[in-house]
A = this chain, B = another copy of it.
Amino acid sequence: MIKGKQSVVFDKPVYIEAVASIVGEKEGQGPYGKYFDIVSNDPMMNTNTWEEAESKLQELAVDKLFDKSGIGKDDVRYMFGGDLLGQLIATSFGLKKYEIPLFGLYGACSTFGEGLSLAAMCVSGGYAESVIALASSHFASAEKQFRFPLEYGNQRPMASTWTVTGCGAAMVTERKTDVRISGITTGTIVDYGVKDSMNMGACMAPAAAALIAANLADMDVDESYYDKIITGDLGTVGQKILIDLLREKGYEITNRHMDCGIEIFDGESQNTMAGGSGCGCSATMFCGSLIDRIRSGEWNRILFVPTGALLSTVSYNEGKSVPGIAHGVVIERGV
């Protein structure tokens, strides 16, 4: 069950019963727009603040997940959720109405990987039949939290990423379905000393590279074991660093790497610089599209690696570096 230094392979299988995704207008106009369950053209989500809007994304994703899974709130034993805002307020106000035991998580943009990992451990460990893992982000609440209020109209450097407005939620169960979580690799904090909060791809790529190398070592396989290795939100700048770092470690992932941040927008026509980012990026891409490509048989086994940059306005204004973390989840087709 324990594999190597950082990984677990589940003896008792864990499955994904259903997923739900909701995104904003810009994500809806992107190349994956048609795959999301809900596309909202109102960035305020009919609420009064950006933070309430993000809470509403969580609420609508969970409601949709109940519908799609046929599992109601009384049959969900735990929720593992988080967002990017200080003190997780999007999650607190988004999930409170459900009255389901909650484990609040913070892994920056890696939170959906952290949530899926703990959800799978929980179900495989016999602590629950069904649990929900979810993560959200919102472009406007994140800009306000981490950078500048939108009203400032600040310019964005080319290495910057565009926070995805969206929430992805997964119902993780012990009931057999056609997609299972077969293993996890839990990340450590990796700090290469990068201090540019506008270049989060560079901050996170070393953590992604370390996680992928740890997974391959723990599983005693090479990169060809996976049909795809899919990172969260490295963007175009981070992708190049990731590939180079893994090449130094003897792995060549160029042909099997995909990054949710690069995929979710059409960078050229949508002006999203290096790509999409935020907890919601990997969560909505996984729930909106990736899982279907496993179900359909296009891929049989993927390593899904949401990536997070560990910073706050306080930490970078105080001159600290931006360390990264990544959490890996092995998703396989069939029982």
Contacts and interface: CB of A to CB of B under 8 A. Distances in A.
Interface of A: 1-2, 6, 8, 48-49, 51-52, 77-78, 82, 84-89, 92-93, 95-96, 98-108, 114, 117-118, 121-122, 124-128, 145, 186-189, 191, 310-315, 318, 320, 323, 325
A51 B128 contact: no
How many copies the complex holds: the figure is 2
Nearest to A186: B101
A89 B191 contact: no
21 contacts: A2-B127, A49-B318, A51-B314, A85-B312, A86-B86, A86-B313, A89-B315, A93-B320, A96-B188, A99-B189, A100-B188, A101-B187, A101-B188, A102-B188, A102-B325, A103-B105, A103-B117, A104-B105, A121-B125, A124-B125, A125-B127
Contacts of A103: 105, 107, 114, 117-118, 186
A310 B48 CA distance: 19
Contacts of A48: 318
Given A88-B106, A89-B315, A103-B117, 19 more contacts: A1-B126, A51-B314, A51-B315, A51-B318, A84-B87, A86-B312, A87-B315, A93-B323, A98-B188, A99-B189, A102-B187, A103-B114, A104-B106, A104-B325, A105-B105, A121-B125, A124-B125, A125-B126, A125-B127
Given A105-B106, A186-B102, A189-B95, A311 B2 contact: no
Considering the complex of A and B, which 10 residue pairs feature the smallest CB-CB distances, nearest first? A125-B125, A86-B86, A101-B186, A96-B189, A87-B312, A92-B310, A104-B106, A89-B315, A86-B312, A99-B188
